């Protein structure tokens, strides 16, 4: 009795929330940040946004679709980041090698500062099986293509070995970035780490210690 009365009172004003869709996405991000992807519960999510259990189903067919949508957001954010960075004069005026090092730095920084996105973008849960949305696959593919192009340019600039196949080189370099990101995010074997030193080391290795020209 009392409970149902309370609820109706509470919800009456929320019947049209305004921007529930985005609110749900934002709240999900928060939940992931607090307790990891596994801690996301549609019901707690609804509670947090001040809406009833199944309200989210009007905007997202599935829990999975919700997470895929969020992952997409993550890819777009990253896409914007690298676009902004590469347009900046600070970045443009750097020598190729320094630019490559900066890219590594931004990649790892993005992964750490937006770990809730990063986990969705490359967490197994979404990629394995056929759970990934088509639009998610598309943007992810685009982002990787950009990385391949960048790799090619670096090869032509002489900071990456020209002998290697571009695609494979892109896979290896991206693998390195991804592996380091995971190490940093999960805190495995990385106690007392200095991000800068790790970037230096990774850049040195990938660029062959600058011994190629």
Partner DNA sequence: CAACCAATCTTGACAGTGTCAAATTCTGTT
Partner DNA sequence: AACAGAATTTGACACTGTCAAGATTGGTTG
Distance CA 212, CA 210 (A): 5
Q: Considering only residues 43, 92, 138, 168, which one is a binding residue for DNA as defined by CB under 7 A? A: 43
Residues of this chain that bind its own copies (CB under 8 A): 35-38, 119, 122-125, 127-129, 140-141, 144, 161, 163-165, 168-169, 171-180, 182-183, 185-190, 193, 197-198, 201-202, 204-206, 208-209, 211-212
**Residue closer to DNA, measured from CB, 41 or 156:** 41
Min. distance of Cβ 143 from its own copies in angstroms? Answer: 10
**Closer CB to DNA, 57 or 141, in the complex:** 57
DSSP state of 56: G
From residue 10 to residue 29, what is the string marking binding to DNA with x (rule CB under 7 A)?
Answer: -xx-xxxxx-x---------
Nearer to DNA, 40 or 160 (CB): 40
User: Left (φ > 0), alpha (ψ -120 to 50) or beta: where does 210 sit?
Assistant: left
40 close to 67: Cβ distance less than 8 angstroms: yes
Q: How far is the CB of 166 from its own copies (least distance, A)?
A: 10
CB of 127 to its own copies, least distance (A): 4
- How many CB atoms lie under 10 A from the CB of residue 174? 17
Q: Which residue, 8 or 209, has its beta carbon nearer to DNA?
A: 8
Q: Judged by CB, which is closer to DNA: 16, or 194?
A: 16
Which of 44, 64, 52 lies closest to 20 in space, CA to CA?
Answer: 52
Where is 134: in which H helix or E strand? helix 134-157
19: three-class secondary structure by DSSP? coil
Q: What character string, x for contact with DNA (CB under 7 A) and - otherwise, covers 53-92? A: xxx-xxx-xxxx----------------------------
CB half-sphere exposure, 3, CA atoms < 13 A: 0
How many helical (H) and strand (E) elements, i.e. helices and strands, does the chain have?
11, 0
């Amino acid at each position: 009795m009392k409970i149902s009365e309370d609820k109706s009172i509470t919800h009456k004003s929320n019947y049209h929330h305004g921007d529930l869709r985005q609110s749900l996405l934002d709240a999900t991000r928060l939940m992931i940040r607090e307790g990891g992807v596994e801690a996301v519960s549609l019901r707690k999510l609804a509670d947090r946004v001040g809406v009833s259990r199944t309200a989210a189903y009007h905007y997202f067919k599935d829990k999975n679709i919700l997470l895929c949508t969020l992952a997409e957001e993550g890819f777009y954010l990253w896409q914007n980041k690298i676009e902004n960075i590469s347009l900046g004069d600070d970045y443009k005026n750097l020598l190729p090698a320094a630019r490559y090092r900066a890219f590594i730095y931004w990649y790892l920084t993005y992964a750490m500062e937006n770990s809730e996105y990063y986990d969705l973008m490359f967490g197994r849960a979404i990629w394995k099986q056929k759970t990934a949305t088509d639009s998610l696959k598309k943007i992810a593919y685009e982002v990787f293509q950009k990385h391949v192009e960048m790799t090619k340019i670096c090869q032509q600039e002489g900071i990456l070995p020209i002998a290697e196949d571009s695609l494979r080189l892109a896979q290896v370099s991206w693998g390195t970035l991804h592996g380091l990101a995971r190490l940093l995010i999960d805190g495995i074997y990385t106690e007392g780490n200095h991000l800068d030193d790790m970037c230096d080391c990774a850049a040195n290795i990938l660029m062959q210690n600058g011994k190629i020209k």
